[in-house]
């Protein structure tokens, strides 16, 4: 589903090149669940950004569901994300001016062909909200929801366009342990139901253990890549 080949990412910082990621080769199978782990500053989020086509690598290539991202324009990659990718962020990133329901609707409305007409889209968004236990909160604004509720809306949004791949960046980072667990349970359940490929960035070892596969980063380099349960 995802193939990365010889990825390197270098930024200019204070006039000097700073390599934040190097020599990354990676393959994620369809319907798989991969956790990218590593300490702060190890390049986890950078790698996620490159795999999702949010940024271009300095060198190397990435394929997403068989399509190579490199030659694509910004807009083509946006189309690809709209059709195939879902996101969950550490800071939830709900749009503050939209209600919970409208937030869930955004990916559907951006990709109207896939999910049918407007009525159907709203129905599906309501179903998703119900699935994450927030049917009653559909018309609440993000500011009126707790952190856990916001992240659940974000989960509903992430699955709204039936993505093939879901990227989650520290989805429990801003939540207390109990809420975090609940959110992860929900994420894993939805992932299983929708048979989505899940790429999760975390520094929570316990959470990583729930993945099928763990990629460990340190100092921008891959230190291990193997099934969960292997340290």
Partner 1 sequence: MRLPFVLAMALRESRSSWRRLGFYAGSITLGVAALVAINAFRADVNSTIHRASRALLGADLELHTRYGFPESVRAVLDSASGAGTPVSFVTRFSSMALAERSGLTRLVQVRAVAGAYPYYGDIVTDPPGLWPRLGIDRIALADPAVLVELDAHIGDTLRLGQASFVVAGVITSVPGDVGLGAAIRPRIYIPEAHLVETELLQFGSFAWYQAYLQLTGADEAEGFIAAHETLLDSAQVGTTTAGEREEDLSRGLDNFARFLSLIGLSALLLGGIGIASGVHVFVKRKLETVAVLRCLGATQRTVFGVYLLQALVMGFLGAAAGVALGLGVQASLPALLADFLPLEVTPALHLGPILTGLAVGVWVAVIFGLLPLLTIRDVTPLEALRRPFDGPKPRRDVVRFAVYGALAVSVVGLSLSQAPRWQAGLAFAVAIAVTAAVLWLVAWSLTRATRRFFPRRAPYVLRQGIANLFRPHNQTVTVTLTVGFGVFVLGAVHLVERNLLDQLAIDARPDRPNFVVFDIQQDQREGVKELIEERGYTVSELTPIVPARVAGVNGRTVEDLLADTTDARPARWALRREYRHTYRDTLTSSEELVEGKWWDELDEERSGEEAPERVARISVEEGVATELQVTVGDHITWNVQGVLLETQITSLREVNWARFEPNFFVIFEPGVLDDAPQIFVTLTRVEDETRRAELQRDLVRRYANISALDLSLVQDTIDTLLGKITLAVRFMALFSIAAGMIVLVGAIATSRFQRVRESVLLKTLGGRARQVTQVLATEYLALGTLAGLTGTLLAAIAGWALMVFFFELTFRLPIVPLLGLAAAAAVVTLLVGLLTSRDVARRAPLAVLREMAE
Query: Rounded to an integer, what distance in angstroms lies between the CA atom of residue 59 and that of residue 9?
Result: 7
198 in contact with partner 1 (CB under 8 A): no
**Smallest gap from residue 177 Cβ to partner 1 (A):** 21
The answer to the question of residue 74 lying near partner 1 (CB under 8 A) is yes
Q: Does 148 bind partner 1 (CB under 8 A)?
A: no
- Tell the burial category of 163 from Cβ atoms under 10 Å away from its Cβ (0-12, 13-18, 19+): buried
Give me the least distance between CB of 38 and partner 1, in Å please: 15
Structural element, H or E, at residue 202: strand 197-202
* Residue 122 in the binding site for partner 1 (CB under 8 A): no
- Note whether 43 and 220 are within 8 A (CB): yes
Long-range contacts of 19-26 (CB under 8 A, 24+ apart): 19/220, 20/46, 20/220, 21/46, 21/47, 21/50, 21/57, 21/220, 21/221, 22/220, 22/221, 23/221, 23/222, 24/60, 24/221, 24/222, 25/222, 26/2, 26/51, 26/215, 26/222, 26/225
Per-residue contact track with partner 1, 31 to 70, x per CB under 8 A? --------------x--xx--x-xx---------------
**Least distance to partner 1, CB of residue 176, Å:** 16
78 in contact with partner 1 (CB under 8 A) = yes
Q: In angstroms, rounded to a whole number, what is the distance separating the alpha carbons of residues 56 and 49?
A: 9
Q: Quick check: 143 binds partner 1 (CB under 8 A)?
A: yes
Verify binding: residue 204, partner 1, rule CB under 8 A.
no
Residues 95-114 that bind partner 1 (CB under 8 A): 95-98, 102, 106-107, 109-112
- Would you count residue 12 as binding partner 1 (CB under 8 A)? no
Which residues are near partner 1 by CB under 8 A? 45, 48-49, 52, 54-55, 74-75, 78-83, 85, 87, 89, 93, 95-98, 102, 106-107, 109-112, 141, 143, 157, 161, 169
């Amino acid at each position: 589903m995802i193939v990365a080949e010889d990825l390197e990412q270098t930024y200019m910082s204070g006039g000097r090149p700073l390599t934040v990621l190097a020599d990354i080769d990676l393959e994620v199978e369809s319907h798989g669940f991969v956790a990218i782990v590593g300490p702060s500053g190890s390049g986890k989020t950078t790698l996620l950004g490159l795999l999702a086509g949010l940024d271009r690598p300095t060198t190397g290539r990435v394929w997403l569901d068989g399509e190579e991202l490199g030659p694509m324009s910004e807009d083509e990659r946006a189309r690809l994300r709209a059709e195939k990718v879902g996101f969950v962020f550490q800071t939830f990133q709900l749009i503050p001016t939209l209600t919970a329901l409208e937030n869930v609707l955004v990916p559907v409305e951006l990709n109207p062909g896939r999910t049918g007409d407007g009525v159907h889209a709203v129905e599906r968004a309501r179903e998703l909200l119900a699935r994450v236990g927030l049917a009653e909160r559909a018309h609440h604004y993000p500011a009126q929801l707790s952190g856990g509720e916001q992240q659940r809306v974000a989960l509903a949004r992430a699955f709204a366009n039936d993505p093939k791949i879901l990227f989650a960046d520290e989805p429990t980072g801003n939540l207390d342990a109990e809420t975090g667990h609940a959110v992860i349970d929900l994420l894993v359940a939805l992932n299983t139901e929708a048979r989505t490929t899940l790429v999760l960035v975390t520094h929570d070892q316990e959470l990583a253990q729930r993945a099928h596969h763990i990629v460990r980063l340190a100092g921008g380099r891959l230190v291990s890549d193997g099934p969960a349960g292997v340290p």
